[in-house]
Structure 1
Amino acid sequence: MGAPTTELLAAQRHRRLLRSGVWSAYLLALVVVTVLFGPPTQRIYQALWIVVGIAAFTPDRPWRDQIRILVDWVPLIAALVVYDHSRGIANTLGMPVRVQEPAVVERGLFGGTVPTVWLQEHLAGDGGYQWWTVLTGLVYTSHFLVPWLIAAIFYVQSRERWSKYMRRILLLSYLGLLTYVLIPAAPPWYAARAGVIHTEIQRSTGFGLRMYSVDIGADWLAAHSNPVAAIPSLHAAFALLVSVALWPLARHWWWRVPLAVFPVAMGFTLVYGGEHYVIDVLLGWVYVGLAIVLARMWERRRAPTALQPAPAPRDSG
C-alpha cells in the first residue's frame, strides 16, 4: 500500500503546485494590467478577465468543465451587454425627460432643500478636494467591480448560489432599463446645468479619483452612461444587492457591519456627488426588493415538486 499512497500524495502535490502557479501568474498579470491601464471595467474586457480567472483558479478541472464556464457565462454577459447599449439609447425613444419633477419632489421631502446642494455647500468647502473624497471615489467605483467579483467567487463556490445571484442581477438591470425607457429622469448635476437647480453641482466622478491618472468612473460613464437614467439608482441598488447576497454568509457581526454600511455609503456618495437624488437611491433599494420577490417566485415555480408518498395498498380481506 506504500507505493499507491506515495503516488497519490505526489499527484496531490503536483495539483497544488499547478493551481498555485497558474493562479499566481493570473494575479500577477491582472496587477500589471491594472497598474498600467486601470482596473478592467468595460463589460466584455472585464468578463474576459473573470472567465479566465475562474479557469485559472482550478486549471486541473476536466476540459468539459472548462467549456461549461463559457456556456454559463456567455449568455449572461450577452444579456448585460444588451442592457448596457439599450440603457444608452433609452432617452432617445420619445418619452419626455423629467428634469424638473425629481427636483420638486426632493425639495418637497426636505423642506425646500435639495440634499445634494446642502451636502456640497457644507462638505466640499471652497471646491477643493478633501482627503476623504478618495473614499467616496472608491465607493463610487466599486459599482463597476464588486458585483462581478462577488459573482466570480460565487461561481467557484457554488453554481447554484451564482445562478440565484445572477438572476437577481439581470432582473434588477432590466427593471431599471424598463423604467429608464418609460420615465427618463435627470440627475441633480443635469438639473443644475438646465437651470432647474440654481446652484453649480459637481459630479461624483470629480471627487477623489480625479487626483489620479486614471479616472475610472469618468471613463466608464463616458463610454456607457445615459445622462437621464437617474430613476432608479442602480448604483445604490447593486450595492444593496451585494450586501443582501453576502449577509447570510457573514457569520459574525464584524462582517455584517461593513455589509450594512456599504449601501449607505454608496447612497451618500451618489447624493453628495450630484449623480442621484435621495429619492433615486430609495427607489433603487425598492427595486432590489422587487427583483428578489420576482426571482423567488420564479424559483418556486421551477423547483421540482416533492414526490407524494404512494397510497398504502388496501386490505383485500
Structure 2
Amino acid sequence: MEKQPGTKGFYHRSFVYAALSVSAGYLLLSKFLVGFKTDQLVLVFIFNALFFFSKATRKFILGFSIFIVYWILFDYMKAFPNYRYNMVHIQDLYEAEKHVFGISLHGLIVTPNEFWKANSSAFLDVLTGLFYLMWVPVPLAFAVYLFFKKKTEFVHFSLVFVWVNLLGFVVYYLFPAAPPWYVQTHGFNFIAGTPGNTAGLARFDQFFNITLFKGIYSKGSNVFAAMPSLHSSYPLIVVYYTLKNKLGGINIFFITVMVGIWFSAVYSSHHYCLDVLAGISCAILGIVSFQFLVKKAPLKHFVAYMVQKIA
C-alpha cells in the first residue's frame, strides 16, 4: 500500500470515510432539495474515482472541488426560486433596455434582441451557437492549464470564479429578472415555474438537426435569473488571468471568445445588453475585491493551504 513520508498513508481509513461521507451527504441532500438525477451519480462517481485512483488524481479533484461547489450551489437554486423572495422585473427591464439601447426597425424602436431576431442568419446562428458552447469548456480548459503550470494562479482563478458567481447569485435574489425570450413568448405577465427555453439557440439545433441546447436549457435552475449575465462574466475572468500571466498570442483567442459570448447572449435573446453589462461589472467587482481580500491574512493563508494540498 502506497505511503507518504510522515503521513498515515494515502488509503488511510480517514480518507475513505471523508470521501464516502461527503458523497452520501451530497446525494441525500440533493434528493431532499431537488430530487434524484443521474447527473448526481455521475458527479459522485467522477469525484470518488479520481479521489481514490492515485495521489495525483486526488490532488486534481481536490483542486477542482471549488468548481464542484459552484455547480452544486447553482443546482440547488432550483429549490429556492428567486421569484419567491422579490418581484420579478419584466416590463421595466424591457423598457429600460429599449430606452438605452433601442434600435430603429421599420419606424419602431426595438430592443437589440428584437432587432437581431428579425435579422438573423444561418451564419450568425451557427457562429453564436459555437461561441455560447464555449462558456464552460474555455474556463475549465484554462483552469486545467493553470493547475499544471501555475498552482497559485489556479487557486486564485478558481476562487475568483466562485466569488463572482456568489456575487451574481446575490443579485439574482435581490433583482429577479426575466430574459428577453420570456417577453417574446409570454409578454409582461409573470408565470411562476416557467421552464427554460432555448430561444434563439434553437436555430443552432435546427441547423444541425440536434437537440443540444434544448437538453442544456431544460435543466436550467431559474429562468428569472437573467441579470447579471454570468455567461458574460466568465470569459472576462479568463481574459484577465491570461493577460496577467502574459500568455502571448493565445490572448487574441480568449478576447475573441469573450466578445463573441457577449454578442451571442444578446443575439440569441437570452440576455439584454443591460444583463451583459451587469455581468461584466460583476466580474470586475469580483476580481478587484478578491485582489484586495487575498492580501489579508485569512484568505492569504487559505490560498497557501490550497496550494500546498494540490502541489
- TM-score, reference length from structure 1: 0.69
Deviation at 1:142, TM superposition (A): 1.1
Identify the match of residue 93 of structure 2 among 92, 102, 111.
102
Q: Deviations over 1:244-290 (max 9, x none)?
A: 222234454x4333332222211111111100000000110000111
CA distance in 2, matches of 1:295, 1:170: 11
Query: Does 2:217 match 1:221?
Result: yes
Identify the match of residue 123 of structure 1 among 120, 123, 127.
120
Give the corresponding residue for 1:145. 137
Give the corresponding residue for 1:90. 81
Q: Does structure 1 retain, via aligned residues, the 8 Å contact 2:198–2:213?
A: no
CA distance in 1, matches of 2:154, 2:48: 14
CA distance in 2, matches of 1:132, 1:139: 10
The size of the alignment, in residue pairs, is 248
Question: After TM superposition, where is structure 1 displaced by more than 6 Å over at least 4 residues in a row?
Answer: 46-55
Q: For the aligned residues, what is the CA RMSD?
A: 3.0
CA distance in 2, matches of 1:216, 1:50: 25
Give the corresponding residue for 2:58. 67
Give the corresponding residue for 2:165. 173
CA distance in 1, matches of 2:173, 2:225: 8
Q: Deviations over 1:36-60 (max 9, x none)?
A: xxxxxx68847976997999xxx9x
CA distance in 2, matches of 1:262, 1:110: 23
Identify the match of residue 241 of structure 2 among 239, 245, 253.
245
Q: Does structure 2 retain, via aligned residues, the 8 Å contact 1:151–1:162?
A: yes
Q: Does structure 2 retain, via aligned residues, the 8 Å contact 1:180–1:231?
A: yes
Describe the shift of the 1:279–1:149 C-alpha distance in structure 2 as closer, same or farther (beyond 3 A): same
The 5-angstrom pairing of residues 261-276 of structure 1 reads 261-276=256-271
Say which SS state the counterpart of residue 185 (structure 1) adopts: coil
Q: For residue 219 of structure 2, what is the amino acid of its counterpart? A: A
Deviation at 1:188, TM superposition (A): 0.6
Q: Deviations over 1:2-44 (max 9, x none)?
A: xxxxxxxxxxxxxxxxxxxxxxxxxxxxxxxxxxxxxxxx688
Q: Does structure 1 retain, via aligned residues, the 8 Å contact 2:176–2:227?
A: yes
Q: Does structure 2 retain, via aligned residues, the 8 Å contact 1:138–1:209?
A: no
Q: For residue 248 of structure 1, what is the amino acid of its counterpart? A: K
Describe the shift of the 1:100–1:270 C-alpha distance in structure 2 as closer, same or farther (beyond 3 A): same
Describe the shift of the 1:290–1:196 C-alpha distance in structure 2 as closer, same or farther (beyond 3 A): same
Q: Deviations over 1:110-143 (max 9, x none)?
A: 344201111221234xxxxx13421211111111
Q: Does structure 1 retain, via aligned residues, the 8 Å contact 2:229–2:276?
A: yes
Describe the shift of the 1:113–1:53 C-alpha distance in structure 2 as closer, same or farther (beyond 3 A): farther
Q: For residue 208 of structure 1, what is the amino acid of its counterpart? A: F
Q: For residue 135 of structure 1, what is the amino acid of its counterpart? A: L
CA distance in 2, matches of 1:223, 1:70: 24
Deviation at 1:93, TM superposition (A): 2.6
Give the corresponding residue for 1:18. none
Q: Deviations over 1:168-226 (max 9, x none)?
A: 110111111111111110011001223249xxx98132132443354333212211331
CA distance in 2, matches of 1:193, 1:144: 27
Describe the shift of the 1:184–1:238 C-alpha distance in structure 2 as closer, same or farther (beyond 3 A): same
User: Which blocks of at least 5 consecutive residues in structure 2 are unaligned?
Assistant: 1-38, 103-108, 190-196, 302-311
User: Which blocks of at least 5 consecutive residues in structure 1 are unaligned?
Assistant: 1-41, 125-129, 305-317
Q: Does structure 1 retain, via aligned residues, the 8 Å contact 2:131–2:261?
A: yes
Deviation at 1:103, TM superposition (A): 0.6
Q: Does structure 2 retain, via aligned residues, the 8 Å contact 1:202–1:274?
A: no
Q: Which is further off, 288-297 or 69-78?
A: 69-78
CA distance in 1, matches of 2:59, 2:142: 19
Query: Does 2:200 match 1:204?
Result: yes
Describe the shift of the 1:274–1:43 C-alpha distance in structure 2 as closer, same or farther (beyond 3 A): farther
- TM-score, reference length from structure 2: 0.70
Deviation at 1:83, TM superposition (A): 2.6
Give the corresponding residue for 1:282. 277
CA distance in 1, matches of 2:71, 2:125: 30
